[in-house]
Amino acid sequence: MQGCIRNRKGKPSMKFKNDYVQRVYDSVAARNPNEPEFLQAVGEVLESLVPVVEKNPSIEKNAILERITEPERAIQFRVTWMDDQGGVHVNRGYRVQFNSAIGPYKGGLRLHPSVNLSIIKFLGFEQIFKNSLTTLPIGGGKGGSDFDPKGKSDTEIMRFCQSFMTELQRHIGADTDVPAGDIGTGAREIGYMYGQYKRLRNEFTGVLTGKGLSWGGSLARTEATGYGLCYLTAEMLRCMKNDSFAGKTVVISGSGNVAIYATEKATELGGKVVALSDSNGYIHDPDGIKLDVVKEIKEVRRGRIKEYVDAVPTATYHEGCSGIWTIPCDIALPSATQNEIDGASAEILVKNGCFCVAEGANMPSTPEAIAVYQKAGVLYAPAKAANAGGVATSALEMCQNSMRYSWTFEEVDAKLKEIMEGIFHACYDASKEYGEEGDLMAGANIAGFLKVCDAMLAQGVAY
């Protein structure tokens, strides 16, 4: 089921103020005509890079934009698995190894029926800049499958994960490519995949992150993306508005890993989270979401968010997802999926007083929604900055695995907070240096790009 994703076309006719950037975009659009999400992500990044390209002629001379928009490697493979009744199914698996200029490819595995090459390429492309922003040595990659984990038994999930890893294992490695979780891939799936990797390769290495705590996982990895989102948002509120979460009404979409731990941290920082959702609908609890109820439904029973109203009868459930953006709030943290806020939803958010949007999901706002935030002066933290806490903590997990050592929860959490605050300042400083002060989208794209660009220039071109 597609859920609430709004299908949108790419914009092959985007216009840029620089001839070189225009030529690169036109060429990417011509070569990838059926990849709207990928084109959307490329268009947004290229637009921000116009002033950088104008200041640094070596970018055009060395074809850096042409190279950075083409994956180093894109693997597609068949995944055959057997259901509990003996029926045989075939899914499509992907791993896109986008850029390894600053470290091994790193990025999650998405299991969702909407997965296709365009979605994996958009996620892998975004991951290059996000990973660079963390300041840690990790390149960009992404993978997944159009397999739908919903309604499958544990043993069906296990057989799928084993079959998926049977092929994936030949392309990854602790110093080559280190996948992690994403939509549909949590601790259970990582466990089944890791078991199969170990079986086939006879090695116990940090080849996946998001592992269980007793076999190489990092404390605070589960919480990292949601917590990190709130750390960055809090720093943005403090520095740009002399404000905080205290006393603010917060709306968060999704009810998965990111949404749950964003709810936990936003509440701890004094905010009141009043709504959560899934791909069927949303709950509204004006008294503030009771997170223990949500965790029991989602993490213990793997249920649906509508079950919340059985435990909290004063809350209401509404079918459909976009209605969540009609709930008045000060802060919105979209944490479900791409393109979940379009221009019309953004207009309603702003009209109802929302003054801050920080993205937990990848690319949850359409370009039209971003234009609405910018026109209204909404504080806006784009995904590649705001949700980088997950991959940053994954890189800390890799570090602990290499040392054969574990840090405490407090140690990892403190490093995460420092990294997220650092990302805010890197984005802000880059926006200022390139004449767009306070535009964190431009700042994130520029700061993330510069480090990768330097490494690509230093590493030369293979003739």
Which chain residues interact with ligand NDP by CB under 6 A?
2-5, 181-184, 225, 254-259, 278-280, 321, 335-337, 360-362, 387, 390
Q: Output 134 or 401, the one with its CB closest to ligand NDP.
A: 134
Shortest reach from residue 439's CB to ligand NDP, in Å: 22
* Distance (Å, whole) CA 3 – CA 26: 31
Shortest reach from residue 423's CB to ligand NDP, in Å: 13
DSSP-assigned beta bridge partners for residue 88: 82
- Selecting among 106, 130, 142, 211, the annotated active-site residue is 142
Shortest reach from residue 168's CB to ligand NDP, in Å: 18
Q: Helical H runs in 18-153?
A: 19-31, 36-55, 57-61, 64-68, 117-133
* Distance (Å, whole) CA 271 – CA 249: 6
* Distance (Å, whole) CA 32 – CA 29: 5
Q: Output 333 or 453, the one with its CB closest to ligand NDP.
A: 333
Q: Output 53 or 96, the one with its CB closest to ligand NDP.
A: 96
CB–CB of 386/233 below 8 Å? yes
Q: Output 162 or 225, the one with its CB closest to ligand NDP.
A: 225
Shortest reach from residue 82's CB to ligand NDP, in Å: 24
Shortest reach from residue 376's CB to ligand NDP, in Å: 24
* Distance (Å, whole) CA 179 – CA 64: 25
Q: Output 162 or 387, the one with its CB closest to ligand NDP.
A: 387
362 contact partners, CB below 8 Å, separation of at least 6: 122, 123, 126, 337, 338, 383, 387
* Distance (Å, whole) CA 342 – CA 322: 9
* Distance (Å, whole) CA 268 – CA 261: 10
Q: Output 5 or 349, the one with its CB closest to ligand NDP.
A: 5
30's tokens: 């011509």
Shortest reach from residue 387's CB to ligand NDP, in Å: 4
Confirm whether 106 is a catalytic residue: no
Q: Is the dihedral of CA 215, 219, 221, 223 positive or negative?
A: positive
* Cα 32–Cα 113–Cα 225 angle in degrees, nearest 5: 90
- The residues carrying an active-site annotation are 142
